[in-house]
Chain A
């Protein structure tokens, strides 16, 4: 029997679909105003329902929305530790609850959240404690997360069967204020000890190289995409420097870290959130998505571009999704990944997909 700490950050990930790039600090209030809905309960449920060896574990969980409200619906032995400091939850609550769990000598800590939550946990645990993240934030550039909630459950099962490797993984976080202003400022906070199983735990985000050859590569991709763009089709262009090159080729201004819409070479939507995209989809009959995977991780949906919600993806369809990536980025990826939060949408996206990697060049690779 292993004792596992299970803490949920109930507000993590809420900024994604509304285009806020995160919910650190005051952004949470803004997210609520924009109609953001909680995403962690569903992720936490997916995680718990996929654990096979439930009888081999005892959960210590946070009160109310920080774990208890979800755990109580499962046939798992558990106790609640800690209390909430006031209305709602805060980073301080996460830290206090985890500290209590550490005093109880947990064997493993599972958290549901994003990079901000990982950072809060890093502040209170040391390298003696094993930690694994169930991805539920907006950014999740750290390498302490499983690739999706199901994979997190598999890692926990492997941990219970003592078949995991233990490695130190990076906790990264970005400056959300800078991020909202289209600046990517990634900082390494430190390391956590993570149980891993090959293919189930993600790598850290790697930036796209800004070398001359990479820039040339991006320009060649952009030229190829623009030459092959269809008339009277709405193009929804995701974040990143490679997608920005497409906008540059069209001589249109692009939000580096947001979703923009282009129709017949004209910008018709800037830094769109999920609602903005769905509104445009009502107006335009044909639409396509152009996205680039996250470097080092391979996610095409579910990391840093949650504006492309399951509903948006369903409405557009897999055949209308174009992936672009530099040769260098693709060479470092063994597969592409999706983690939209909707298992059906994820499954529909799986299989083989072509990635445009240069003018006249594509790579056929697996979405896992």
Chain B
């Protein structure tokens, strides 16, 4: 098995989980495919919204569903930056950076708050000083690529109270971190939480995300309800997934167990591995151009060199076999560099 894996590329660069969804979810999506000459119905979307409401412990009225968290983040950035000042953290989810940098061309000012190494913590005080004239602040929590929680509830409260615009929090890895501020939406109309079913629920290929936010934000998004609506197979699969979340919890359990194994083994090699509450690990390898070198050995990891130095890699936690293949390649490049 290991040999087979090493003979082809092992992709550990997109934070997907390695387990396919249960048969009942595949069947539900297939059922929708048979009717794919029809658009999805409002009633189907309502059923999904109701299930998401129970799952997230949020009011149905505060949920907006879209075709993936990325597209929802992009829409919020475009709608609410208002050619004002957008504050993001650095490093952050590369898509947030890319969209924000695009907005510069239409007159939006971007301020990146550099996370403080070595812990990658958020410097809260200087951030708050910058909020008064900010239209939008975007924070991924947990942060990607560091894997750590950047804002706790007290900080979130302070930020919501200081900012003149919106605070957008990307909780894409909530199921792994088990930390959320989504319930604070009812107290802060300027708080927007984005989540996804691409990670722990294992539906990355179906692209379904949702927003939990106050009325004003959702009103601003209302005209985009149709264009952003997910496909019917996505809606059907998500409904089925939410009916019984046992498999998702099992996915998380397996990934966390593997994550800690990979963390320990990589640390034993002398690689600096950052603590993570997600399904990926950030590593400082001490090997120049580490991602490229791993790629040459057939292991594709995320190369964060646009935001960090080229010794860093971000590796998604895969199956045990995939992780073993990664560890084997990591060992090779670490030894080569020491020689």
Contact = CB atoms under 8 A, between A and B. Distances in A.
- A and B associate in one complex: yes
A335 interface: yes
Contacts of B307: 331
A366 B104 contact: no
B309 A331 contact: yes
A255 interface: no
Contacts of A76: none
B112 A366 contact: no
A357 B104 CA distance: 12
Interface residues of B, number: 24
Nearest to B87: A364
Contact of A365 (B104, B114, B130): B114
A327 B116 CA distance: 17
Given A198-B118, A331-B308, A334-B117, A364 B104 contact: no
A364 B109 contact: no
Interface string B190-208: 0000000000000000000
Interface string A327-362: 100111011000000000000000010100111111
A364 B308 contact: no
A186 interface: no
A357 B309 CA distance: 16
The number of chain A residues touching the other chain, given as a range, is: 20 to 34
A27 interface: no
B20 interface: no
Contacts of A366: 114, 116, 123
Interface in B119-146: 123, 126-127, 130
B44 interface: no
Contacts of B126: 352, 364
Nearest to A203: B309
B336 to A, nearest CB: 15
A165 to B, nearest CB: 10
A363 B118 CA distance: 18
Given A198-B118, A331-B309, A362 B104 contact: no
B123 A360 contact: no
Contacts of B107: 360
B282 to A, nearest CB: 13
B88 to A, nearest CB: 10
Nearest to B307: A331
B130 A364 contact: yes
Interface string B80-113: 0000000000100000000001001001111111
B97 to A, nearest CB: 10
Given A352-B126, A361-B101, A335 B117 contact: yes
Nearest to B310: A332
A362 to B, nearest CB: 5
B104 A363 contact: no
B111 A364 contact: yes
A169 to B, nearest CB: 13
Contacts of A360: 104, 107-110
Contacts of A335: 114, 116-117
Interface pairs A-B: 9 shortest CB-CB: A334-B117, A365-B114, A352-B126, A360-B104, A363-B112, A361-B110, A332-B309, A360-B109, A364-B113
Nearest to A199: B118
B121 to A, nearest CB: 11
A360 B123 CA distance: 22
Contact of A361 (B104, B130, B305): B104
B306 interface: yes
Interface in B168-186: none
A363 B117 contact: no
A252 to B, nearest CB: 26
Given A361-B112, A365-B114, 7 more contacts: A327-B306, A332-B309, A334-B116, A361-B110, A362-B109, A363-B111, A364-B130
Scoring A335, A354, A362 by chain B CB atoms within 10 A of each residue's CB, the highest score goes to: A362
Contacts of A354: 111
A23 to B, nearest CB: 32
A358 B104 CA distance: 9
A365 B130 CA distance: 13
A168 to B, nearest CB: 10
B108 to A, nearest CB: 7
A22 to B, nearest CB: 28
Nearest to B106: A360
Nearest to A354: B111
B98 to A, nearest CB: 12
Interface string B239-250: 000000000000
